[in-house]
Structure 1
Amino acid sequence: MKKIVAVLLPLAIFLIVFFYTAIPFNFDGFISPVPEYVPAGNRPPEFGAWLAYWDEDLAIENLTLGLPVQSISPVWYVLDGTAALTQSPHQKGSEIIALAKKNTVQITPTIFNDFDGERVANLIGDKAKIADFLDTLITIIDDHDFAGIDLDLEVIEEDDKLAFSRLVDAVGQLVHQKGKLLSVTVHAKAGKNDWPGSLGQDWQEISKYADRVRIMVYDYHNSKTEPGSISPIDYLEDVVDYAVSQIPLAKIVIALPLYGYDWSQEKDVIPLTYEAISSMVNKNRIEVQLEKQSFSKHFDYQQDGVGHEVWFEDAQTLEQKIRLVQSKGINKFYFWKLGGEDKRVWEIK
């Protein structure tokens, strides 16, 4: 008996040490009981992603891999303080366009207003500025033969709702005359107790003129809030249910996060890519938890005596959220943003 113990004990110790040191701490084993969502139909999800102009190298690295994305929206055009449409300071547009064409990926560049609703108010209140805006759009489309345009104008006042819908109508007419697609990106809302910045976007009206309405179901908790899930699954369901009541199913695109936030006790909040989070977890052997209500992952750590709390999404949490959305009959998804994400997301079928 002693001989058997003498032989087996070192083997057991070896196996424990091997599994502890050799396997990365991705904690996919943290499964909690959640509903089994059944997709409506057998079609694989359609994926697209935004490209941030300040992270072009990461995006190019991913495009080189030939990931299964049908379209990309580089954030290349800005509505400035004078209501003029200008280029963002991107550097590698030609390379991105070439890679997209090589991989048959549609490009619908994003026009954004840097979260400044006043810029939108300045535009929609001036017919001459609207005319200039539309002329610039024509030039952008003609010069690059893009598949369409993504209009991402955020934080619009409720008083500007009607005028903003008219702008979407005008842009839609112009884009469709060119045989192109119009996507309009909107804040998430559920039809009650909604954030005021979302009230200037009338989903029903917008969907009359847009081919796609991308709903940003992320930043539920963000740099201005306490720590928490960026995209809670219960809130996602509320948003999707409201969207289905306002927008034709075929036009709904659900936008989800590929990133996380690090909240410190000193009130600093830093966005992190999944790759940065994964590296931190594996390097420091941090224990990751899966919260049941939000179906999002999180962990705590200390650095220089300061407490930190990190919340993020990975392939496991996103797959469950994608299945929920599919169970409602929606199959189109967009992600913020391409580069540094959990690559297993692209394996979701």
Structure 2
Amino acid sequence: MKKTIAMVILLATMSILLSGCDDRANTSSTKGYQLSAWTTYWDYKNVPNEINILGDNLTEIVYFGAYFDQSNHLFIPKETQRTFQEIKNMPDSLRYKNYLAIVNDKVNSKGKTSLKSRDLLYELFANEKSVDQHINDIVNLACEGGYDGVEIDYEAIKGTDLWHMYLNFTSRLYQKLKEHNLKMRIDLESSAPINKLKFPEGPEYVMMCYNLYGADSKPGPKADKKFLQAMADKMAALPGKKSLAIATGGFDWSENGKVEDITEQEADSLLKKYSIIPQRDSEKSNALTFKYSDQSGLKHQVWFADGLTLSSWITTIKNKGDFYISLWRLNGNNKDSLKLLSNS
């Protein structure tokens, strides 16, 4: 039965690729695109292997990431440092630009982490002295660590005052990084008020085009064609180099209200365990979906992306303009899916 399921999925994938209908099958337009990919400190074991499979399209690696202790001091987790060293020791490592991602997560005195903390940002941006100190901390961390650049991934920014404080910080940080020959990327959530603010010229801007459906929504794909097109149009207001980020994996929604992240490999394990053949949402997202009941009888619905899904999303983006592509994230992806991306 397992071999039968795998064969059905393979034949269905080949049928779509060879059908010649609309941009879902037209992966040739992604040929030669430049790809950035994230690696995370909590899930990194197979990252070097996945990097090798992606091949020449992969030009930038972003290490997620550095965050803050209870005293607002930046630090890099040892797992991030380990991954960075492993990749630096790879034979082809010199062809990658390595970025250190800085996130507004903070560990409190009890060891618990506050994610996407706005209070932390207000503290960092409180006055010119605190901004200068924060900028120096970032530059020193990147220089001492041997990175080629920095990615600022500060999320959950709300309110005009905090946005203006943030833009003042990013503008000054870019100038300081430039003095040290370091590059800069800025991540933006899909809700960012791009048209209402003036963003500084110089950094690369990365729009997070995922979690259209996610932990706080009903079941559905992380992205679809309409959403990607809208995000590409929104990016027109930004200066300079622009990248659209798509996501691997997906989510598993349980009828008890619990929602869990799931990698492609984990989704495939569920398909094999419960002898299920997934359906492809060919009309809107090209993502795969299936339902199952677990061993306790709870019903689940899963949506996830495979290589064909990701290739179709890249084609949709490239058809909207000359965008770079960022991939959240490495690890947990099937070899065949990565090969499809490397040959696109």
- What TM bracket, shorter-length normalisation? 0.7 to 0.9
Contact 1:39 1:328 in 2 (8 A): no
Looking at structure 2, the residues matched to 76 and 53 of structure 1 have their Cα atoms a distance apart, in angstroms, of: 7
Q: 109-118 or 169-178: which moved more?
A: 109-118
Looking at structure 2, the residues matched to 22 and 120 of structure 1 have their Cα atoms a distance apart, in angstroms, of: 48
Aligned mate of 1:240, from 232, 242, 251: 232
Deviation at 1:282, TM superposition (A): 3.4
Contact 1:318 1:345 in 2 (8 A): no
Which residue of structure 2 lines up, in the alignment, with residue 347 of structure 1?
A: 342
1:316 aligns with 2:276: no
Contact 1:134 1:171 in 2 (8 A): yes
Deviations 1:287-306 (A, max 9, x none): 21122223322111111211
Which residue of structure 1 lines up, in the alignment, with residue 266 of structure 2?
A: 276
Cα–Cα, structure 1 residues 278 and 103, in superposed 2: closer, same or farther, change >3 Å?
farther
Runs of 5+ unmatched residues, structure 2:
106-115
Aligned mate of 1:102, from 67, 80, 93: 93
Deviations 1:192-230 (A, max 9, x none): xxxxxx34x6786335241x1011000111111111111
Looking at structure 2, the residues matched to 161 and 78 of structure 1 have their Cα atoms a distance apart, in angstroms, of: 20
Looking at structure 2, the residues matched to 284 and 65 of structure 1 have their Cα atoms a distance apart, in angstroms, of: 29
Deviations 1:20-78 (A, max 9, x none): 37726354257499743879988611111111001121223323557331011111311
What code does the residue aligned with 1:322 have? I
Deviation at 1:346, TM superposition (A): 2.8
Cα–Cα, structure 1 residues 142 and 41, in superposed 2: closer, same or farther, change >3 Å?
same
Which residue of structure 2 lines up, in the alignment, with residue 28 of structure 1?
A: 13
Looking at structure 2, the residues matched to 295 and 18 of structure 1 have their Cα atoms a distance apart, in angstroms, of: 23
Cα–Cα, structure 1 residues 75 and 84, in superposed 2: closer, same or farther, change >3 Å?
same
Cα–Cα, structure 1 residues 188 and 80, in superposed 2: closer, same or farther, change >3 Å?
farther
Looking at structure 1, the residues matched to 200 and 272 of structure 2 have their Cα atoms a distance apart, in angstroms, of: 44
Contact 2:276 2:290 in 1 (8 A): yes
- Partner SS, residue 244 of structure 2: strand
Cα–Cα, structure 1 residues 204 and 49, in superposed 2: closer, same or farther, change >3 Å?
farther
Looking at structure 2, the residues matched to 56 and 135 of structure 1 have their Cα atoms a distance apart, in angstroms, of: 28
1:87 aligns with 2:88: no
Aligned mate of 2:287, from 280, 289, 296: 296
Runs of 5+ unmatched residues, structure 1:
1-16, 190-197
Which residue of structure 2 lines up, in the alignment, with residue 257 of structure 1?
A: 247
Cα–Cα, structure 1 residues 40 and 297, in superposed 2: closer, same or farther, change >3 Å?
closer
Looking at structure 1, the residues matched to 46 and 29 of structure 2 have their Cα atoms a distance apart, in angstroms, of: 34
Looking at structure 2, the residues matched to 348 and 311 of structure 1 have their Cα atoms a distance apart, in angstroms, of: 24
Cα–Cα, structure 1 residues 97 and 258, in superposed 2: closer, same or farther, change >3 Å?
same
Looking at structure 2, the residues matched to 130 and 95 of structure 1 have their Cα atoms a distance apart, in angstroms, of: 33
Q: TM-score, normalised by structure 2?
A: 0.83
Which residue of structure 2 lines up, in the alignment, with residue 266 of structure 1?
A: 256
Deviation at 1:85, TM superposition (A): 2.0
Looking at structure 1, the residues matched to 253 and 49 of structure 2 have their Cα atoms a distance apart, in angstroms, of: 28
Which residue of structure 2 lines up, in the alignment, with residue 55 of structure 1?
A: 43
1:161 aligns with 2:163: yes
Looking at structure 2, the residues matched to 166 and 22 of structure 1 have their Cα atoms a distance apart, in angstroms, of: 52
Contact 1:290 1:298 in 2 (8 A): yes
Q: Tell me the matched-pair count.
A: 321
- Partner SS, residue 173 of structure 2: helix
Looking at structure 2, the residues matched to 307 and 18 of structure 1 have their Cα atoms a distance apart, in angstroms, of: 22
Looking at structure 2, the residues matched to 277 and 208 of structure 1 have their Cα atoms a distance apart, in angstroms, of: 41
Aligned mate of 1:213, from 192, 201, 205: 205
Deviation at 1:80, TM superposition (A): 4.6
Deviation at 1:137, TM superposition (A): 1.9
Deviation at 1:121, TM superposition (A): 1.9
Which residue of structure 2 lines up, in the alignment, with residue 70 of structure 1?
A: 59
Q: State the identity as a percent.
A: 18
Which residue of structure 2 lines up, in the alignment, with residue 336 of structure 1?
A: 328
1:228 aligns with 2:220: yes
Contact 1:80 1:113 in 2 (8 A): no
- Partner SS, residue 54 of structure 1: coil
Which protein shows a greater Rg? 1
Aligned mate of 2:318, from 318, 322, 326: 326
Q: 21-30 or 223-232: which moved more?
A: 21-30
- RMSD between superposed Cα atoms in Å: 2.9
